[in-house]
Structure 1
């Protein structure tokens, strides 16, 4: 019974943390009227959460390892739930954005500890199944987020996009308290690497903030260049510090493992490539095809459904197929699915959209679950939290960079075009889809470093080595 409570609590927490990044998009236009503000200001409701989440991920992972993963999880869920209530009551856009920062910080506490807490409940041969279920659940949250946001707004009010988190939060806290066992990284002390936290936070903040601002200011802006320089200097200082402190915030020796490093580079490129479907495709639907936002939400749900199904089905495949082969197959499938979007026109029937998005989503599902499994298995058990934090940072930086790159490519493609000429507009979007395929191919190249071996074979080798 305790395991059931623990699994339910952890999966629900992971679900709402993903849901909260997608269901809010539908209410942004309403918030412009409610708070009497403009679109540029309202977009910071999204940006504030994204930046806070990315910046605090590794710090939260390290603190959880030091002071208790269950404790961190419970605090994260409690803060997430309280901020959801306060967001619904908020009467000022400035206070709203501050609360979104706090909510992003709380999500950064929750996400990296879910995997290690779940893995403590199962044997190692069940790791692919756990990551497959988590991948499927994440895809489901992404799929129903916009639809749920639309239904809650229409039937109740826009604040219910946040209020819906409250009953979930209460259930998660009760079940988590009853079912989850406390765990730590026994190899580290409780000494906090303050300089490491500071320099890494500055580095990640500067980079993500630059990507968020680049479309308004331009890639050649002194402000953007300055932020990138701050990022690089802070990162170099961080690496220097981590090599000389007794208790480093991030164990750099993890990156000496080529397989682990290759997994994270692959994750970065995949996140960039995904933005062609997540960002460019909805714009194509609305600006060229003439679909409404709800139609866009429906088609993205199809994409996420394909990812969810493939993510769950890929778990047993890891016992029969080499992990690297499975991931590269998924990357090639995502490349194909994205390229097939270039054949969509005003005359294309709905089914043509659906099967292309299913192919694209299936490729993504075949990538993320095995990739997450590989990252977890390439580090010692006590380092799973920090390793999971690294992969999430790679994914979030890739997402921010992907939005910036796709926006820059679209601006280049649209330069000088008559925006009412649908033939040229269609061609420009198709060229953007083709360009985005490059990142899946780069991911496939980096995945070559992941190494060979089926999951069971790798576990047997490790077992023999330990004995």
Structure 2
């Protein structure tokens, strides 16, 4: 074990192999599958709205299992669990190479998403716990740049492999995951949770049913199965209500609602919006271009723009508060999506708009990422480590289903036109959906997001606009926890000690 890879004192240069390979393990899988959907539609003979479920089921599984898998990692060791998650993804990817059935792939994608969720939760926790606190934000910035450099190669490599066959994408994921597991061996183990954990099985189940039911509704609408779409929505709504009440009562919930307040709740919403825009643009590119290598090349150009964003953002952040950066990006994107609606029939204009939009979407995501991890104390970082993953899943799943449904309905309505022309008409309406999501994020950011104390001295900073969790709300939830069935067995003196310990924890924030 390296002395340079220990909790609260790790050096980024030594973390770099894991940071790069851990990111590529999940990023290649997601990017490649998005580019492969058209080939999968043709080879397996399935509809567009059905094929996108290979991505949607993956994202839903990632959201549902990210936090439970994160808790498994805390219980059995962060590093050991990370190694296991990567090895399991490698095994599943190898299995996918031999499958030629849509439903078989769907099941494997669901299982893969669960362990990818664990990978991401471990990676986020490592980034929060292993660097010194003073260097955490700086290291997160380095990580974003590293990720964007990796992202330049991934789309073009995936496009080239698709010229052979989509199955070879799984062999690549298999290889990267093996290397990522090896890179974790050199990390020193972080402290483990010694108490027995209660896993929120019902919470994870209701979360899956809620997102899956809502997304399935749009797929059923694309098939004009309106009765079943209504049933699917009802299941989603009931699951959402059930999820809320289960989370309120559970000792260790999937989403800790006592933390789910401004600013975390609004950062979560902005993440949902930004990820829905990102996946929307990425989904449109191969659908409109219908050429894997050209789509991969455009994806690489988008990654270059994201890299430029990652490099330039730290300099902007030295002068301007994060809120102003996000508001500015949403404003530019609103204009870009409006132009996309007007110019999507022109392939060149479509490509230019998608590439430029990537710069501003990436800027928003990179701005929100450290805001999420650093919105709580380092001791509570594990509690919010899976929030970006969950918000990404919600945004990606809903956006994929809505946009594929819109496109399928418009192509069907314009069946008398050439297929490519009908697709571009669908893209026009898809840009309106992206515009609506963008305006929602802009309004929320303007009226709900404030500034942070560490932004003092920057343009836009005002003491009256500081947004932070209230200790009184946290303490109230601590007291509620003590009233649960699990904690009523503790005597009065032990309960007072727990409250005092958590008060000290909150004072760090």
Identify the TM-score tier after normalising by the shorter chain.
0.7 to 0.9
| 1:269 Cα deviation from its structure 2 partner | 1.8
* Aligned-residue CA RMSD (Å): 3.6
Q: Deviations over 1:130-181 (max 9, x none)?
A: 33344445555555444212323446x5433122234433332222111243
Which of 3, 21, 24 lines up with 1:15 in the alignment?
24
Which of 427, 435, 438 lines up with 2:436 in the alignment?
438
The answer to whether 1:116 aligns with 2:116 is no
Instruction: Decide whether aligned partners of structure 1 residues 403 and 43 sit closer, same or farther in structure 2, where only a CA change above 3 A counts.
Output: closer
- Report 1:69-218 matches (<5 A): 69-90=78-99, 94-139=103-148, 144-154=153-163, 158-184=166-192, 189-193=195-199, 196-212=200-216, 214-217=218-221
- Are the equivalent residues in 1 in contact too, given 2:272–2:395 (CA < 8 A)? yes
Cα distance in structure 2, aligned partners of 1:38 and 1:27: 13
Q: Mean alpha-carbon deviation: is it higher for 94-103 or for 12-21? A: 94-103
Instruction: Decide whether aligned partners of structure 1 residues 247 and 207 sit closer, same or farther in structure 2, where only a CA change above 3 A counts.
Output: closer
- Are the equivalent residues in 2 in contact too, given 1:19–1:141 (CA < 8 A)? no
- Are the equivalent residues in 1 in contact too, given 2:89–2:115 (CA < 8 A)? yes
Q: Structure 2 length as normaliser, TM-score?
A: 0.76
**Paired residue for 1:242?**
247
Instruction: Decide whether aligned partners of structure 1 residues 421 and 170 sit closer, same or farther in structure 2, where only a CA change above 3 A counts.
Output: closer
Q: Deviations over 1:256-292 (max 9, x none)?
A: 3x11111011111222333442233543445xxxxx3
- Report 1:219-368 matches (<5 A): 221-256=226-261, 258-286=262-290, 292-342=291-341, 344=343, 350=348, 352=349, 355-368=352-365
Q: Mean alpha-carbon deviation: is it higher for 116-125 or for 439-448? A: 116-125
Q: Deviations over 1:157-209 (max 9, x none)?
A: 5433122234433332222111243244x6x943214xx32233233334235
The answer to whether 1:52 aligns with 2:61 is yes
Cα distance in structure 2, aligned partners of 1:254 and 1:25: 33
Cα distance in structure 1, aligned partners of 2:55 and 2:109: 8
Q: Deviations over 1:423-464 (max 9, x none)?
A: 8875664354244212112111112322124745399999xx
- Are the equivalent residues in 2 in contact too, given 1:208–1:397 (CA < 8 A)? no
Structure number with higher helix proportion: 1
- Are the equivalent residues in 1 in contact too, given 2:203–2:246 (CA < 8 A)? no
Cα distance in structure 2, aligned partners of 1:169 and 1:416: 43
The answer to whether 1:399 aligns with 2:399 is no
- Are the equivalent residues in 1 in contact too, given 2:206–2:242 (CA < 8 A)? no
Provide structure 1 residue ranges, at least 5 long, that are not aligned to the other structure: 287-291
| 1:117 Cα deviation from its structure 2 partner | 0.3
**Paired residue for 2:503?**
none
Q: Mean alpha-carbon deviation: is it higher for 71-80 or for 276-285? A: 276-285
SS at match of 2:263: helix
Instruction: Decide whether aligned partners of structure 1 residues 164 and 216 sit closer, same or farther in structure 2, where only a CA change above 3 A counts.
Output: same
Cα distance in structure 2, aligned partners of 1:31 and 1:424: 20
| 1:415 Cα deviation from its structure 2 partner | 7.0
Cα distance in structure 2, aligned partners of 1:385 and 1:451: 24
- Are the equivalent residues in 1 in contact too, given 2:220–2:228 (CA < 8 A)? no
Q: Structure 1 length as normaliser, TM-score?
A: 0.83
Cα distance in structure 1, aligned partners of 2:422 and 2:110: 40
Q: Mean alpha-carbon deviation: is it higher for 426-435 or for 143-152? A: 426-435
Cα distance in structure 1, aligned partners of 2:74 and 2:410: 47
Q: Mean alpha-carbon deviation: is it higher for 220-229 or for 326-335? A: 220-229
| 1:121 Cα deviation from its structure 2 partner | 3.0
- Are the equivalent residues in 2 in contact too, given 1:115–1:388 (CA < 8 A)? yes
Cα distance in structure 1, aligned partners of 2:358 and 2:277: 12
Provide structure 2 residue ranges, at least 5 long, that are not aligned to the other structure: 6-10, 469-506
Give aligned pairs, total: 451
Instruction: Decide whether aligned partners of structure 1 residues 9 and 154 sit closer, same or farther in structure 2, where only a CA change above 3 A counts.
Output: same
